[in-house]
């Protein structure tokens, strides 16, 4: 039996299992480093599949590793399962309606991501067993991707050092191997301390920490003109000092997330930002404490592995959709803004060059986007740090209507749909097929390693999170 036929048969025969797992995680959305229900459930599923599970990896309660087999090569699948705060949403509807007002929701599709990677790992395990092959399969349960950089903390502790290559994916409104880099980022708290006083009777005795936060934000906003076009500077005031305007605020805090094309550029922005914070403290006669929260490196795509993954995507093929599924995608499309629709229309234009548009309309991706490595991803991912340690390939796969924006209620509502499940199943086939090809032709692995080694010779990797910084749990997760 051909490799692709074997993979298709395995995933098709076990598909109900993967749909159930994904649905369970969707129904229990948990934010960064608080994925207690999801991580426990996934560990149980790994054990049922015959993996040996180690939980609480590197001191993170919701991080875990499932392992099967022995010896080389060691093949890693990266899974995520964290959700986002404030994105609670009813499933399979074309209007915004929270399940729990203010609650969490899977606005980035990590319920699908983790399950798809698990299905692929299970397929590879089964293939190794049936063919009596040598090799180790690992599923990495990676918490806190959204604003926590869980993989970067894991990378700092060396858990990926002996992996020969890693594979992962991400839900999207389009399909294709990610051949471009992402932005590196650093997230940091600036905590200002001043002196309280009566804002009317004795304002001259007070020193406002909130004034310092506001002045810092003004300084940062002026800096925007003097950074590269690719750079991003975001902030949120996490403590305004209270709700009483007649009290000079003695404490205030702002959280910054800065990004640029690589970590060296990002660190330069971070250093400038620290100077601005100190300047704001000087202007207001307050004190500032700087607390490094997390960071992640830019993604380094491996083209050797990427080409194999692209071939696997083509062999597996895109799913076929029913008229009802196109109709639902159209309903979601109609909830999008004009700008979001234009984004979707662009990708449909790319895919419609060779493939016909469905009679119901161009509301679902028709084919994979070519793997060309152009441009950059304006977001960030902690997969980046893994990709500088071991050859890594990542793809996007269609699980939602064209134009659907990540971190939106539209993404959440489609998270248990038949469209998303079809994407989950197809991408798990492609990931498993890629791993099988590399396992049975280990020249692929050697070439992938040579490619990475050449890059590291020019750009050595250093984990961007300093020793001593530990993962923190927030009341609200922050968008990555």
The predicted-structure confidence for 4-57, as pLDDT tens digits, reads as follows 999 999 999 999 999 999 999 999 999 999 999 999 999 999 999 999 999 999
Q: Where are the alpha helices (DSSP H) in 364-467?
A: 383-387, 409-413, 418-440, 443-458
Residue 477: predicted pLDDT: 40
Distance of alpha carbon 312 from the chain centroid: 22
pLDDT (mean) for 175-188: 95
Question: b/e string for 178-206 if b means 16 or more Cβ within 10 A?
Answer: bbebbbbbbbbbbbbbbebbeeeeeeeeb
Residue 348: predicted pLDDT: 67
Which residues are paired to 168 by β-bridges?
Answer: 394
Residue located via tokens 């893994």: 386
Separation of alpha carbons 461 and 389, rounded Å: 8
Averaged pLDDT of the chain? 94
Tokens of 368: 């994979």
Return the number of other C-beta atoms located less than 10 Å from residue 303's C-beta.
Answer: 17
Determine how β-strand 74-79 pairs with β-strand 135-141: parallel
Tokens of 205: 């005795």
CA angle 230/179/320 to nearest 5° reads: 120
Q: Can you list the domains of the chain with their CATH numbers? A: 3-182+298-458 (3.40.630.10), 184-296 (3.30.70.360)
Q: Contact 279/218 with Cβ under 8 angstroms?
A: no
Dihedral angle over CA of 317, 322, 328, 331, nearest 10: 90
Which residues are paired to 165 by β-bridges?
Answer: 75
User: Residue 475 — pLDDT band, cuts 50, 70, 90?
Assistant: very low
Separation of alpha carbons 37 and 42, rounded Å: 9
pLDDT (mean) for 382-399: 97
Query: Which residue, 387, 228, 376, is CA-closest to 297?
Result: 387
Distance of alpha carbon 323 from the chain centroid: 31
84 has pLDDT over 50:
yes
Residue 480: predicted pLDDT: 40
Dihedral angle over CA of 278, 280, 286, 289, nearest 10: -40
pLDDT (mean) for 55-78: 97
pLDDT in tens, 439-473: 999 999 999 999 999 999 999 999 999 999 999 87
Q: What's the number of CA atoms in the CB half-sphere (13 Å) around residue 175?
A: 28
**DSSP characters for 255-306?**
EEEEEESSHHHHHHHHHHHHHHHHHHHHHHT-EEEEEEEEEEPPP---HHHH
Tokens of 471: 């993962």
Residues in contact with 315: Cβ distance below 8 Å, sequence separation at least 6, in sequence order:
4, 430, 433
Residue located via tokens 């599709």: 109
Tokens of 302: 């491996």
pLDDT in tens, 225-246: 999 999 999 999 999 999 999 9
Residue 371: predicted pLDDT: 86
Bigger pLDDT: 55 or 341?
A: 55
Return the number of other C-beta atoms located less than 10 Å from residue 346's C-beta.
Answer: 12
Tokens of 89: 């949403």
Dihedral angle over CA of 325, 329, 331, 335, nearest 10: 160
pLDDT (mean) for 292-310: 97
Could you tell me the pTM of the whole model? 0.94
Number of H helices and number of E strands within the chain? 15, 11
Would you call 5 exposed, middle or buried from its count of C-beta atoms within 10 A (0-12, 13-18, 19+)? Answer: exposed
260 has pLDDT over 60:
yes
The conformation of residue 81, written as its DSSP 8-state character, comes to -
Q: Contact 325/364 with Cβ under 8 angstroms?
A: yes
Separation of alpha carbons 355 and 340, rounded Å: 22
Q: Is the dihedral of CA 200, 204, 206, 209 positive or negative?
A: positive
């Amino acid at each position: 039996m051909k490799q692709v036929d074997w993979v298709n048969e395995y995933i098709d025969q076990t598909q109900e299992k993967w749909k159930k797992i994904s649905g369970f995680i969707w129904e229990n959305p948990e934010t960064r480093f608080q994925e207690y229900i999801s991580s426990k459930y996934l560990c149980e599923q790994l054990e049922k599949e015959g993996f040996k599970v180690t939980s609480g990896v590197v001191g993170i309660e919701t991080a875990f590793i499932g392992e099967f087999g022995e010896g080389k090569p060691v093949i890693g699948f990266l899974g995520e399962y964290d959700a986002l705060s404030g994105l609670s949403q009813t499933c399979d509807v074309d209007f915004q309606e929270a399940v729990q007002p203010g609650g969490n929701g899977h606005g980035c599709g990590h319920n699908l991501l983790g399950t798809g990677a698990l299905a692929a790992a299970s397929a590879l395990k089964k293939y190794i067993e049936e063919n009596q092959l040598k090799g180790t399969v690992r599923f990495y349960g990676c918490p806190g991707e959204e604003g926590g950089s869980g993989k970067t903390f894991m990378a700092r502790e060396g858990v990926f050092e002996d992996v020969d290559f890693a594979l992962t994916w991400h839900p999207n409104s389009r399909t294709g191997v990610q051949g471009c880099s992402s932005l590196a980022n650093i997230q940091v708290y600036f905590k200002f301390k001043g002196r309280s006083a009566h804002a009317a009777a004795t304002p001259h005795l007070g020193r406002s920490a909130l004034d310092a936060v506001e002045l810092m934000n003004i300084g940062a906003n002026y800096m925007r003109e003097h950074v590269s076009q690719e750079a991003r500077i975001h902030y949120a005031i996490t403590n305004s000092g209270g709700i009483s305007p007649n009290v000079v605020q003695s404490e205030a805090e702002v959280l910054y997330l800065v990004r640029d094309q690589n970590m060296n550029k990002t660190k330069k922005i971070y250093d400038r930002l620290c100077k601005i914070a100190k300047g704001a403290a000087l202007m207001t006669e307050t004190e500032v404490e700087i607390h490094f929260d997390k960071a992640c490196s830019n993604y380094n795509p491996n083209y050797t592995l990427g080409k194999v993954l692209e071939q696997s995507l083509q062999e597996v093929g895109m799913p076929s959709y029913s008229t009802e599924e196109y109709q639902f995608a159209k309903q979601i499309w109609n909830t999008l803004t004009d700008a979001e629709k234009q984004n979707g229309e662009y990708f449909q234009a790319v895919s419609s060059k060779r493939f016909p548009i469905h009679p119901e309309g161009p509301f679902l991706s028709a084919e994979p986007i070519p793997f060309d490595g152009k441009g950059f991803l304006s977001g960030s991912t902690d997969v980046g740090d893994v990709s500088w340690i071991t050859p890594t390939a990542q793809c996007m796969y269609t699980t939602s209507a064209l134009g659907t924006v990540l971190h939106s209620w539209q993404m959440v509502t489609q998270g248990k749909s038949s469209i998303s499940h079809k994407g989950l199943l197809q991408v798990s086939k492609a990931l498993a097929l890629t791993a099988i090809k590399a396992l049975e032709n280990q020249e692929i692995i050697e070439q992938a390693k040579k490619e990475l080694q050449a890059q590291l010779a020019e750009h050595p990797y250093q984990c961007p999170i300093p020793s001593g910084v530990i993962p923190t749990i927030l009341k609200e997760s922050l968008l990555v």
